Amino acid sequence: MLIDVHAHFYHDRSGRAGWEALNDSRLAAGERIGITWHVASVLGSWGLTSPTYFPSPPDLQYGNGWLERLARQHPRRIRGYVTVNPNHTEDALQRIARGQQAGMVGLKLAASRRADDPLLDPLCEAAGRHHFPVLHHVWQHRRREWPGQEASDAVELCRLAARHPTVHFILAHIGGGGDWGHSLRAVRPQANVLIDLSGSGADGGMLEQTLRAVGVERLLWGADVTLCTGWAKLRYLERLLTAEDLSLVRAGNAVRIFPEGAFA
Amino acid sequence: MIDVNTFIGAYPWRQLPGTEPSDLLAAMDRAGIAEAWVSHLPSLFWKDPSAGNAALFELATRERRLHGVSAIHPGLPHWEEDMVEARARRAVAVRCDPGLLGLSPVGAETIALLRRAGELRLPVLSAVRLEDGRGRHPLDAAPELPAWAVRAWLRSSPLTRVVITHADRGFIEEVHWGSTPEEAARVWWDLSWIWGPPEDDLRHLLAAIGAGRFLFGSGQPLRIPEVPSARLDLLDLSAEDRAAITRRNALALIGQ
């Protein structure tokens, strides 16, 4: 089994031309790579009618609903995260509850509110009740504010994770830009934070240092928007790890932290 | 396969594994790469980058799978002699990274190098960047190579031929469609920074520009060498196009 814990799909009301081709391409590449499950999120309208990282409640409703339908169309291939905007607490809580009932398997927090903000606490409590892992968009070492998002880094995510020790957090795309070495130092002692290997970055030494920092039990395979670098990292790990350890990264760790039966 | 974008030696901005020639050869074996064009990474940051060329010449003499790419600083006295030596020592290309040298990419020195390399029939290799700009060391402030500079390079002499590494789709399209067909036929691009699916930038570029303009390049050990192979394996390339990208274009570029 191979689980991509960081996938995205687009829809007819998203700000991406050729959205159907993008989705088809992900699924086709996934077949070639051997991806068993795409665990995906939709960030509202992807910028068309509200900002990607600050999605409005109506856009979240449409995006999450669209993803629920897509998962139903591909019951053996696609699972979904509920995406929420923590600035709208009640809406977010309702969305998590509704998503859980609709078969979603995790919570996606992007960059609408800093990770260590108290507004995220009720959402993480809700995630914990449903045994949802929380996939959090992370800028690897945020040295300043970035336009278009209220980005968080690993230090800020670990503050949140420390307040919710029974919830699993996924630090998004260690290869997604920024100083990954800074993130590795931050997450090392925070046992409930796992790392997804996605991102276009495939720096030499990154995989070895990630393994040294958190061990194989806290690594999750993912691709995000570059399946090519995801596959390359998987090929690299095939040489680096034993078959048993590789199976944890490919799927075993994900099976452990997602709700029971999520990948049955 | 021939990887035109490899390095030996240490990197000043972070610890880098596999910096010895033996490490490079082992990584090539692992990734199915037969030969490599090699640059000397530390000297790209030295005041006189040509000081690293001797190590490359020695390496290329000792190891037939590795081919040196000589670094040239066209702002230094008698730099033309370094070019002649590169030619004499069978360097496959010379490289100039003006941003790392503190030179204007379209200044007189850089353009003089491009013209002289053309006269000597040596391709000039240059990197848009060595690392993702978001992850660079705070003191690593060298400017990236801009696309407009490459357009100017191609116009500097009809003999100039350039290999640009670490360029993304937008950069490549800006140069290709901002050049005449004759100019665009004198630039080659490596695969190290071109995204595959679902964005499918590489598929698009190959359809729009053609396989003849692309070279297999990884940027190892700054990046893992498995990336360009994965990109190719996600395409339905003809055997002919794959052979062109992975080997034949590079051989043609150096007259073999």
- pLDDT, one tens digit per residue, over B2-23 is 999 999 999 999 999 999 999 9
A195: β partners: A171, A219
List the domain boundaries for chain B: 2-253
Chain A, window 121-150: residues with a beta carbon less than 8 angstroms from a chain B beta carbon: 139-140, 143
Look up residue B2 and give its two tokens.
């021939």
A148 interaction partners in chain B (CB closer than 8 Å)? none
B223 interaction partners in chain A (CB closer than 8 Å)? 202-204
Chain A, window 32-91: residues with a beta carbon less than 8 angstroms from a chain B beta carbon: 32-33
Q: What is the pLDDT of residue A80?
A: 98
Look up residue B162 and give its two tokens.
């350039």
Residue with tokens 């031929």: B161
> Are the Cβ atoms of A227 and B197 closer than 8 angstroms?
yes
Rounded-to-integer distance, Cα B63 and Cα A178, Å? 36
Per-block average pLDDT, block size 10, for chain A (264 residues)?
Answer: 98 94 98 98 97 98 98 98 98 98 98 98 98 97 93 98 98 96 98 98 98 98 98 97 98 98 96
Q: Does A26 touch chain B (CB under 8 A)?
A: yes
Q: What is the pLDDT of residue B137?
A: 95
Please tell me the pTM assigned to this model: 0.97
Q: What is the pLDDT of residue B256?
A: 86
Distance from CA of B15 to the nearest CA of A (A): 8
Q: What is the pLDDT of residue A127?
A: 98
Chain A, window 203-262: residues with a beta carbon less than 8 angstroms from a chain B beta carbon: 203-205, 207-208, 225-229, 231-233, 235-236, 239
Residue segments in chain B with a per-residue pLDDT below the cut of 70? none
Mutate one of B226, B234, B237 to test the A interface: name it (highest A CB count within 10 A). Answer: B226
A178 interaction partners in chain B (CB closer than 8 Å)? 134-135
A196: β partners: A220
Walk me through the domains of chain A, giving residue ranges and CATH numbers: 3-257 (3.20.20.140)
Burial of B239 (0-12, 13-18, 19+ CB in 10 A): exposed
- pLDDT, one tens digit per residue, over B28-51 is 999 999 999 999 999 999 999 999
Q: Does A19 touch chain B (CB under 8 A)?
A: no
Show the 3-state SS of chain B: CEEEEEEECCCCCCCCCCCCHHHHHHHHHHHCCCEEEEEECHHHHCCCHHHHHHHHHHHHHHCCCEEEEEECCCCCCCHHHHHHHHHHCCCCEEECCHHHHCCCCCCHHHHHHHHHHHHCCCCEEEECCCCCHHHCCCCCCCCCCCHHHHHHHHHHCCCCCEEEECCCHHHHHHHHCCCCHHHHCCEEEECCCCCCCECCHHHHHHHHHCHHHEECCCCECCECCHHHHHHHHCCCCCHHHHHHHHHHHHHHHCCC
Q: What is the pLDDT of residue B26?
A: 97
Q: What is the pLDDT of residue A169?
A: 98
> Are the Cβ atoms of A29 and B196 closer than 8 angstroms?
yes
Q: What is the pLDDT of residue B239?
A: 98
Q: Does A181 touch chain B (CB under 8 A)?
A: yes
ipTM above 0.95, yes or no: yes
Burial of A76 (0-12, 13-18, 19+ CB in 10 A): exposed
Q: What is the pLDDT of residue B125?
A: 98
Q: What is the CATH number of domain B2-253?
A: 3.20.20.140
> Considering CB atoms only, which of B198, B224, B233 is closest to A204?
B224
